[in-house]
Amino acid sequence: MKILLVNGPNLQLLGVREPGIYGGETLQEIVGRVCSLGKELGAEVTAFQSNHEGDIVDRIGNAKMEGFDGIIINPAAYTHTSVAIRDAIAAVTLPAVEVHISNVNSREDFRHVSYTAPVCTGVIAGFGSDSYLLALRALCTHITKKQKS
C-alpha cells in the first residue's frame, strides 16, 4: 500500500510556530512517526510539503498514476481557500483523509469552513500530531476494506 502525505503552507515551521496551538514537534518528526507507523501497517508513506498551491495540486494530480492508494492531506490555510486543491482531490478519485493538528472548529470562524473536506473520505482534527497517526490507521483500514470488497 502506498500513501501520499501532503502538507500545506507554513507546516515547515512546526516546532517554532505557535507551539501553544500546534505543539513542539517539527514536521520532520511528525513525518518520521507517520512513516514508522506506516511500516508497521504495511504501508509505504511518501511525504511532500509545499507553500505553493500549484505544487500541491500537481502532486495530488499525479498521485494515481504514481501508484498511490490514498492521500493524507493537511492543506493548512488552503483548507479554507483552495477550490483548486479540492478539485485535484476529487479528480484523482483516491481515498483521502484531511488532517489538522488543532481543532479548527474551536478556532476563528473562517477556519470552520473546509473546501477540501467534502471530497475527502474523512477528517481528523484536534488530536495534535497524533491526528496524522489516526488518519493513517483510518486510511489503511479503509483501503484494505475497499480492496476486499
* pLDDT of residue 17 exceeding 90: no
Query: What is the per-residue pLDDT across 26-65, written as a single tens digit (0 to 9) for each?
Result: 999 999 999 999 999 999 999 999 999 999 999 999 999 9
Domain region containing 14: 2-148
The number of helix segments (H) and strand segments (E) in the chain equals 5, 5
The string over 77-105, giving b where at least 16 C-beta atoms fall within 10 Å of a residue's C-beta and e elsewhere, is ebbbebebbbbbbeebebbbbbbbbbebe
Average of per-residue pLDDT across 11-28: 88
Query: Given 22, 78, 115, 132, which residue is catalytic?
Result: 22
Total domains in the chain come to: 1
Active site residue 22: yes
Q: What is the CATH number of the domain that holds 98?
A: 3.40.50.9100
Query: What is the per-residue pLDDT across 95-144, written as a single tens digit (0 to 9) for each?
Result: 999 999 988 776 767 666 899 999 999 999 999 999 999 999 999 999 99
Query: Given 78, 100, 115, 132, which residue is catalytic?
Result: 100
Amino acid 7: pLDDT? 98
